[in-house]
Amino acid sequence: MKRISLLLLLYITFGNSVLAQDKDAAQIKKIYDQALTQGKAYDWLNYLSNQIGGRLSGSVQAQQAVEYTKSQLDSLGLDRVWLQPVKVPKWVRGTPEFAYFETSPGLSTNVNICALGGSVATPLGGLKAGVVEVQGIEELEALGKEKIEGKIVFFNRPMDPTLISTFAAYSGCVDQRYSGAEEAAKYGAVGVIVRSMNLRIDNFPHTGSMGYGDTPVSKRIPAAAISTKGVELLSTTLKLNSETKFYFKQNCKQFNDVESFNVIGEIRGAEFPNEIMVIGGHLDSWDLGDGSHDDGAGCVQSMDVLRLLKTTGYKPKRTIRVVLFMNEENGLRGGNKYAEIAKGKNEKHVFALESDAGGFTPRGFSFDCSDENLKQVHSWKSLFEPYYIHLFEKGFSGADIRPLKDDGIVLAGLRPDSQRYFEHHHSENDTFEHVNKRELELGAASMASLVYLFDKYGVVTSAK
């Protein structure tokens, strides 16, 4: 009799599990069907990119993006939409940069450069000096002040092409972009030129944030990125003629901080309204392109997550909140302000998902979470397999949501295919025409599906 009861219990348990999986599969299919037939992300991105353009923090375009995305969230019939004030830096590029290298008086070759974000300007007439090529910051000490003083330091460490994760390749050399000017100035350098963070050889220079640390204002030197094609020309020329001189002129300027906003909308949870789940991307971008992949794509995907849940008839248990963060690119002020206010209000955030890796084909997610929660995610793998989502691993989540980290939250990042991302990242080449509509929509559907599952089943809490 006991054996029969046990078998019956197992049968009921198994049957309930299969039924739940069937219901989950049906809901996820609804999400994907809606995204691929009635998705709004591509239209929203079209407006952000082609009607507004690059959205550097503190710019008119950044404010226009705030107003536009708020109006679109208002139109979705969410329970609440609001703007969260945040002070952001205002750095302006000015007139286009100009550069050339000179092998002998009157014999010069023009190259494409762009000022790094946060750099000071060159002198009014530009800057011209000899060049010292290095592979990284660590070489500066070996060369010493004698060989660097009065020269322009040319940082030429490339991204490692053997790394399949292009983000790992980026991490391996981005220190020369961020800290190169600060370190070179210690040895008397008068300027810095940095190889663009790009695996492809082309004519697009890639900007990005840089800092001077504690360097006094009077000692700060101008810093610019040079296109990878320009890098190859300059490096080859230096090998043939070490007396080659480099000239560049840039007119950038740092102003006082200005007010901007995070854009926030939410659907209030029916059962656990005080448990908050965040989906987001950063609304600001660099100014060279229109910021379609970085990170217009992540913003419109996050907005569409809420729309997809509403239009498929799903009623969330927990409060689901979209946050479009301001100033990720050159300050992270929006992410820090959001976390500061959330903690000040004692809000309970249980889950946060960021999309900030481009609008390419989604491959899966990386998680900053406990082993128990990752195990739960792996139990959902079969639900994602029909959509070719296969990557579920520990790793980085997102810069804007990282300030929310504590022991009780699951942080996640959408992981699209990254092989083409750095062809566009921070450059004039980051434009709407390079975003594929279907790939963008698949990313939004993948995010909505993960949010649905975490909302339905909750976050695993470790026993104390």
Q: Virtual CA dihedral for 112, 118, 120, 122, nearest 10 degrees?
A: 0
Residue in this structure with the two tokens 């092409």, named with its chain if needed: 161
> What is the spatial distance between Cα 365 and Cα 387, in angstroms, rounded to a whole number?
13
Measured distance CA(155)–CA(174) in Å, rounded: 11
- Residue 164 is inside which H or E element, if any? none
Distance CA 223, CA 259 (A): 27
DSSP state of 206: B
Query: How many Å apart are CA 319 and CA 310, to the nearest integer?
Result: 13
247: left (phi over 0), alpha (psi -120 to 50) or beta: beta
Which letter, b or e, does each residue of 111-150 get, where b requires 16 or more Cβ atoms within 10 Å of its Cβ? bbbbbbbbbbbbeeebbbbebbbbeebeebeeeeeeebee
Query: What is the arrangement of strands in the sheet containing 272-282, beginning at the earlier edge strand?
Result: 80-92, 253-267, 318-325, 272-282, 348-354, 410-416, 362-368, 391-394
Residue that the structure tokens 């952001």 belong to: 88
Active site residues: 328
Q: Quick count: other Cβ atoms within 10 Å of Cβ 51?
A: 12
CA distance 133 to 153: 6
Return the bridge partners of 324, or none: 263, 281
Token pair for 232 = 């190859």
Cα separation, 193 vs 155, whole angstroms: 6
Burial class (CB in 10 A: 0-12, 13-18, 19+), 85: exposed
